[in-house]
Structure 1
Amino acid sequence: MQPSSSDTGFFQDLPELPNQFYDDVSFQRVFKFLIPKDLRRQVEPELAQLGEDVLAPHIFELVTDAERNLPYLRGNGRNALGRPGSELVTGEGWRGLQAFGMERGIVAYNYMTEHEAYGAHARVLQMLRFHLWEASAASTTCPGAMTDGAARLMQRHLANESSLGKDSVQRQVFQNAFDRLTSRDPKRAWTSGQWMTERSGGSDVSQTETVATFVGDDAGGLDSDNLPLGPWSIDGFKWFSSATDAGMTILLARTQPGKGLSAFFAPMYRKRDSGVPSAKVMTGSNRNLNEAELNGVRIQRLKDKSGTRPVPTAELELKGLRAWMIGEEGKGIREIATVLAITRVHCSIACLGLAGRALGVTKAYSLKRVISSETSLGRSRILLCRNPLHMQTLADLTVDYHCLMLLTLYTTHVMGLEERQPFTCTGRSLFDPPPELVAPLLRVLSSLHKAYVCKQSVPLLHAVCMEALGGIGYLMNTETEAINMARLFRDGTVNAIWEGTTDVLSTDLLRTLMHHTVGKSSLNALEWLLKTAVGQSTAAALLLPAFAALRACIEKNPAENLLADAREILFRLAEILIAALMVADAHSDKSSVAEAMMQRYLLKKGFLSRDAAAKAVLATTGEARLALNTTIVYGPNGPNMQHAARL
């Protein structure tokens, strides 16, 4: 026996992280479920290349730099003699990762003219690309989400001549903003902020204290592109504003008592007035800081967060912020809803992208880690991927992950349909809903998927990011960033809070389903989805009565009786819809493995009783059960066991 030392003895081999596009069984299956075969063949090479590029060593070096060199206010926001300066400094890692995302068109993909032929699938493909990029992006996908929402809002108004006027200055301003938001040139591209949260209300924007005053165009100044800054002057204080280094923002403000909130677009920069103190952001962009300054914005302080630390999130004082109104005065909630629908999908995709990467690391680790095993034949040494309990756990987690992917990306498909009006839907398939049901479906799914997926992702992320790797998973492995699971868990948990907490979204969903005008159409849309997904399958007898009972409860009770149960209603509805999508997925190619996953989900969520017949679903034992679990986790070709012969 030889004693170990710091340099001798056993050292665990690092897991070899494979390309997630190929390795992620659920990603591949959902890709095939949602995207037609001809289009899959067309886009697969580019998706596969992205999956490879996000694992490049220099990407992880940028991640480590972004985490170590966090954004800060030079001089804590003042110069040596106390004058306010608001000089924000971001690191090379953050800027480099943002540039990578812009160059790869992570946001632009859905808006590129060459992708118009993809129809609704362009939105799904865009989100699949976000999914692959998320875990390597060091949270640059957070401003990416708001940029996507702002781009869609600009696009929607540019398509409406009555909204902006055919040749108006405001149309020119909005077109310039849209072009920058969807640019793939980092020197030209903008990200966007989204400023709603204030000290008075949090998610309750009805308490907004920011005020907008119409002052006209005179002496309003020019933005950094020599376009007018806007005829509205805005004053107030925004409590939680991400993407402080953005080129523009969308925000809410009051215009007059009793009028409601209005939405505004504001450039972040204006041409410098030599008589105004300096206020600037050091981001390495194309802005000439000798000529531009912040547009009536003072960065009060940066937030110190437990996760998403590279994101420059700040408290902002607005004084004379010049802006353009978006849409009608007092209709700002309706306008911001366009942004929220998109950013909520991004929240779910962020959770799933992190969970998918964590599963990839855990699977790779299981092919390297050797453990002791007790069997009827005695003690032996086996790979972790041959341990029956470990593989049962990973299979169960894979089923959970797969279910959340189905719900999120089906919602994304419906969003893609809604964005590409007029509809050409016929109602003959799950992916082709009747035109009159598209908007009600999206209205319900927007709140439902975000609340359920982001909340359920927290225990999923803990299990696959940390617990599956033991103590190694709990460490901030910045020296080996590719397996820094603690970072993935820490960054993922915020999504259950951003863009509406679980309780807020549950209340929104209940309010929608019980609304005197849109409630019935929303319930009808959900019923259509459910019936179309399950068809004539045996699961119909389980899921249709469950939905009918839930619908009767909603329709027969007053809102005040159900409000305390809003979260339970949302969760049960989500589980019914997921079960239906699992049925449709399994029947799409008659896969016995997908059928087994669907049966496990039905059993876990109580749609199947735990009697002898239901337990027969999991009755396989020994090698047969291990083989099924291994196929669920690693796919039909199984794990790469080439190195096992060396044991």
Structure 2
Amino acid sequence: MHTHDVVNQVPDFVGHNLYTSNAAATEALERWGDPADASDLTALGALAGSVETQAWADDAHRDTPRLRTHDRTGARVDEVEYDRSYHDLMRVAVGHGLTAEPWTRPAGSGAHLRRALGFMTWSRAEAGHLCPVSMTYAAAPALSSSPDLAARWLPRLASRDYDPVLAPFSAKGSAIAGMGMTEKQGGSDVRANVTRATAIAGGPIAGGDTYQLTGHKWFFSAPMSDVFLVLATTDSGVTCFLVPRMLDDGTRNALRLQRLKDKLGNRSNASSEVEFEGAWAVRVGEEGRGIRTIIEMVSSTRLDCVLGSSATMREALSRAMHHARHRSAFGANLIEQPLMRNVLADLALEAEAAEVLGLRLAHAVDAGEVEFARLAVALGKFWVCKRAAPMVAESLECLGGAGYVEENGLARLYREAPLNSIWEGSGNVGALDVLRAMTREPASVAALDKELSQARGHDRRLDHAIDLVPGLVATAGTNVGQWQARRVVEHLAVTLQAALLTQHSPTAVSGAFIAGRLDSGGHGATFGTLNDIGAAEVTEILDRAWA
């Protein structure tokens, strides 16, 4: 017997161009980039929102990576098997130049901004596979300390051809990079690493001085990568090494995968524990200077943490708005109801502030603004990644019970949301890193002050927030500064976001953000508590968020 008709249900969130519908992204390209890149980004945006890509993302999380330590004869192979969908996602990411290509382009070409826009857009489709994509991008600046290695590996790391087959260097036209720093006894304190490196004359790897590594790594992400940057200890101290998966003679390097991590989210991407049993490696940079060498990689992956979290926030907002535009309750569509408009406008402000900051950081890389990037990337890594989890949670709640169901997309975003806040240094590590930059690198503080000063005179509340910065900087090197490190970083980050929105976004957006974030009493403890925002401004914010 027929019991009811299915009505008032929301259509699938597919068929949208995830680049052209994002005003903050398209405006950033117009402002800082090369207009010729628009066509490639538009094509990527259409693919990211397609039915086919959404199916790939679902399959990659449903059929997760599997570890195979031995073949049928009992020989060690130490391989991770992925669903085909994972390789489909990787092929698009690599094919659109989201790995190390920008480092091969001329300075000032806007290549890092183009790549950041592509990374944000494609991350909205599925975030897990972008972990190795990010590490491949970030390996390039670390390798620059060893020109012979850079000349050997960078063309492959920058290739647009994806080749997942394990093969020696001579047989590979492209390569994916991973990294290994964390050990079980040390965590973020990589100076406590116990993996040992012993110099060996000769060896089956070209490109520099060879060593053999013995030890372990507690987190070894993307273990099927072609090459890894790894920290190990010599008599001179912690040193950085390049460790290939396959040796030049075609044999497998001694990387013994122990198990895959059973993670909260990011489940399409394999993260492993590994033992090095005399694994061959080539030194990168000077002995004993490994942390300084690999920090170049960390800085770039931290930038991608900001971009990735921004993408997660934008996707969560878009899905919440899509639902609110199609679902009715109590006599009207949700998008028309005042309290829901408050929530969605508040979420839209948070998403745009995150995106504009992340894209400004990518432009800083293009422009060679090393001092500004040093401090601002650390600020963005702490704050934007912290804001992702509560924002995704609120977006999920906009769907009610439907948001808690896997097939509506928000549940996966919710599991993904905390990751970037943890990766490359969790909150305390990041906050203390900001303090170190403020005390040891005064040029970075001057660069931040220059950026903030460009927004002076537009709003008294922002001016007041900028006026507080020198006092916070003065406390950075004290015990009080450490105690209040999170408050300091939060103030600097929100003030920087407000300054960037004032310069680059419509007045409705910047004014509402300042009112909600810098005006005492202008915002409550949850999203949806904006105060003193006019109806016309709310409409402009929501229309912009649904471009």
Tell me the TM-score normalized by structure 2.
0.90
Give the Cα separation in 2 of the matches to 1:488 and 1:70.
Answer: 16
Q: Name 1:216's counterpart in structure 2.
A: 201
Give the Cα separation in 1 of the matches to 2:10 and 2:466.
Answer: 50
Q: Name 2:169's counterpart in structure 1.
A: none
Q: Name 1:425's counterpart in structure 2.
A: none
Give the deviation of 1:85 after TM superposition: 4.1
Give the deviation of 1:126 after TM superposition: 0.8
Q: Name 1:192's counterpart in structure 2.
A: 177
Give the Cα separation in 2 of the matches to 1:186 and 1:603.
Answer: 47
Give the deviation of 1:498 after TM superposition: 0.3
Residue 203 of structure 1: which of 188, 208, 213 is its match? 188
Give the Cα separation in 2 of the matches to 1:610 and 1:65.
Answer: 43
Give the Cα separation in 2 of the matches to 1:235 and 1:595.
Answer: 58
| More deviation, 355-364/531-540 | 531-540
Q: Name 1:125's counterpart in structure 2.
A: 114
Give the Cα separation in 2 of the matches to 1:610 and 1:323.
Answer: 56
Residue 601 of structure 1: which of 513, 520, 532 is its match? 513
What are the Cα deviations for residues 135-189 of structure 1, in whole angstroms up to 9, with x where unaligned? 21351111111000112333x24xxxxx54xxxxxx2x54231111111111332
What are the Cα deviations for residues 511-547 of structure 1, in whole angstroms up to 9, with x where unaligned? 22223xx2x3332222222112325765564233222
Runs of 5+ consecutive residues of structure 1 not aligned to the other structure: 158-162, 165-170, 273-291, 373-380, 419-437, 478-482, 587-593, 612-616, 640-647
Residue 498 of structure 2: which of 570, 574, 579 is its match? 579
Does the CA-based 8 Å contact 2:512-2:533 persist in structure 1?
no
Q: Name 1:403's counterpart in structure 2.
A: 353
| More deviation, 16-25/91-100 | 16-25
Does the CA-based 8 Å contact 2:101-2:137 persist in structure 1?
no
- Residue 439 and residue 399 in structure 1: after superposition, are their counterparts in 2 closer, same or farther (change >3 A)? same
Give % identity.
27
Residue 269 of structure 1: which of 243, 246, 258 is its match? 246
Q: Name 2:426's counterpart in structure 1.
A: 501
Does the CA-based 8 Å contact 2:197-2:214 persist in structure 1?
yes
Does the CA-based 8 Å contact 1:3-1:9 persist in structure 2?
no
What are the Cα deviations for residues 481-508 of structure 1, in whole angstroms up to 9, with x where unaligned? xx41211221222111000001101111
Give the Cα separation in 2 of the matches to 1:242 and 1:573.
Answer: 32
Q: Which has the larger radius of gyration?
A: 1
Secondary structure, in 3 states, of the residue corresponding to 1:328?
A: coil
Does the CA-based 8 Å contact 2:217-2:273 persist in structure 1?
yes
Secondary structure, in 3 states, of the residue corresponding to 1:252?
A: strand
Q: Name 1:86's counterpart in structure 2.
A: 78
Alignment of 1:362-401 (within 5 A): 362-372=320-330, 381-401=331-351
Is 1:443 aligned to residue 374 of structure 2?
A: yes
Is 1:329 aligned to residue 287 of structure 2?
A: yes
Coordinate RMSD, CA, aligned: 2.5
1:260 maps to amino acid:
G
Give the deviation of 1:35 after TM superposition: 2.1
Give the deviation of 1:98 after TM superposition: 0.9
2:400 maps to amino acid:
G
Give the Cα separation in 1 of the matches to 2:191 and 2:522.
Answer: 47
What are the Cα deviations for residues 442-478 of structure 1, in whole angstroms up to 9, with x where unaligned? 22112111011100111112122x111111111111x
Give the Cα separation in 2 of the matches to 1:620 and 1:342.
Answer: 37
Secondary structure, in 3 states, of the residue corresponding to 2:247?
A: strand
Does the CA-based 8 Å contact 1:97-1:138 persist in structure 2?
no
Does the CA-based 8 Å contact 2:522-2:532 persist in structure 1?
no
Does the CA-based 8 Å contact 1:73-1:302 persist in structure 2?
yes
Does the CA-based 8 Å contact 2:462-2:514 persist in structure 1?
no
- How many pairs are equivalent? 531
What are the Cα deviations for residues 170-229 of structure 1, in whole angstroms up to 9, with x where unaligned? x2x542311111111113321111100001111110100111110110xx225xxxx579
Does the CA-based 8 Å contact 1:135-1:488 persist in structure 2?
no
2:247 maps to amino acid:
R
Give the Cα separation in 1 of the matches to 2:262 and 2:162.
Answer: 27
Does the CA-based 8 Å contact 2:260-2:273 persist in structure 1?
yes
Q: Name 1:528's counterpart in structure 2.
A: 450
Is 1:179 aligned to residue 179 of structure 2?
A: no
Give the Cα separation in 2 of the matches to 1:501 and 1:359.
Answer: 24
Secondary structure, in 3 states, of the residue corresponding to 2:423?
A: coil
Is 1:565 aligned to residue 484 of structure 2?
A: yes
Give the deviation of 1:553 after TM superposition: 3.5
Does the CA-based 8 Å contact 2:214-2:278 persist in structure 1?
yes
1:598 maps to amino acid:
S
Residue 10 of structure 1: which of 7, 11, 24 is its match? 7
- Residue 215 and residue 243 in structure 1: after superposition, are their counterparts in 2 closer, same or farther (change >3 A)? same
Does the CA-based 8 Å contact 1:123-1:412 persist in structure 2?
yes
Does the CA-based 8 Å contact 1:108-1:184 persist in structure 2?
no
2:450 maps to amino acid:
W
Is 1:260 aligned to residue 232 of structure 2?
A: no
Give the Cα separation in 1 of the matches to 2:103 and 2:404.
Answer: 39
Does the CA-based 8 Å contact 2:108-2:367 persist in structure 1?
no
Give the deviation of 1:254 after TM superposition: 0.6
Q: Name 1:475's counterpart in structure 2.
A: 405
Alignment of 1:28-107 (within 5 A): 28-32=26-30, 34-35=31-32, 39-40=34-35, 42-74=36-68, 77-78=69-70, 84-107=76-99
Give the deviation of 1:393 after TM superposition: 0.8
Q: Name 2:470's counterpart in structure 1.
A: 548
What are the Cα deviations for residues 555-579 of structure 1, in whole angstroms up to 9, with x where unaligned? xxx5223212111111111122122
Give the Cα separation in 2 of the matches to 1:513 and 1:544.
Answer: 16
Give the deviation of 1:370 after TM superposition: 1.6
Give the Cα separation in 2 of the matches to 1:527 and 1:228.
Answer: 42
Secondary structure, in 3 states, of the residue corresponding to 2:479?
A: helix
Q: Name 2:167's counterpart in structure 1.
A: none
Give the Cα separation in 2 of the matches to 1:410 and 1:20.
Answer: 19
Give the Cα separation in 1 of the matches to 2:333 and 2:130.
Answer: 36
Give the Cα separation in 2 of the matches to 1:344 and 1:309.
Answer: 20
2:204 maps to amino acid:
G
Does the CA-based 8 Å contact 2:392-2:410 persist in structure 1?
no
Give the Cα separation in 2 of the matches to 1:533 and 1:541.
Answer: 8
Give the Cα separation in 2 of the matches to 1:109 and 1:182.
Answer: 4
Give the deviation of 1:82 after TM superposition: 6.2
- Residue 537 and residue 384 in structure 1: after superposition, are their counterparts in 2 closer, same or farther (change >3 A)? closer
What are the Cα deviations for residues 26-82 of structure 1, in whole angstroms up to 9, with x where unaligned? 3334444x426xx33x222221111101122222222222112211123xx345686
2:485 maps to amino acid:
A
What are the Cα deviations for residues 1-33 of structure 1, in whole angstroms up to 9, with x where unaligned? x9735xx4436141454212222233334444x
Runs of 5+ consecutive residues of structure 2 not aligned to the other structure: 164-172, 524-529
Is 1:512 aligned to residue 489 of structure 2?
A: no
What are the Cα deviations for residues 114-149 of structure 1, in whole angstroms up to 9, with x where unaligned? xx3753x22112101101000213511111110001
Give the Cα separation in 1 of the matches to 2:354 and 2:234.
Answer: 41
Secondary structure, in 3 states, of the residue corresponding to 2:278?
A: strand
- Residue 629 and residue 180 in structure 1: after superposition, are their counterparts in 2 closer, same or farther (change >3 A)? same
Secondary structure, in 3 states, of the residue corresponding to 1:87?
A: strand
Does the CA-based 8 Å contact 2:213-2:280 persist in structure 1?
yes
Does the CA-based 8 Å contact 1:531-1:540 persist in structure 2?
no
Tell me the TM-score normalized by structure 1.
0.77
Residue 452 of structure 1: which of 383, 387, 403 is its match? 383
Q: Name 1:153's counterpart in structure 2.
A: 142
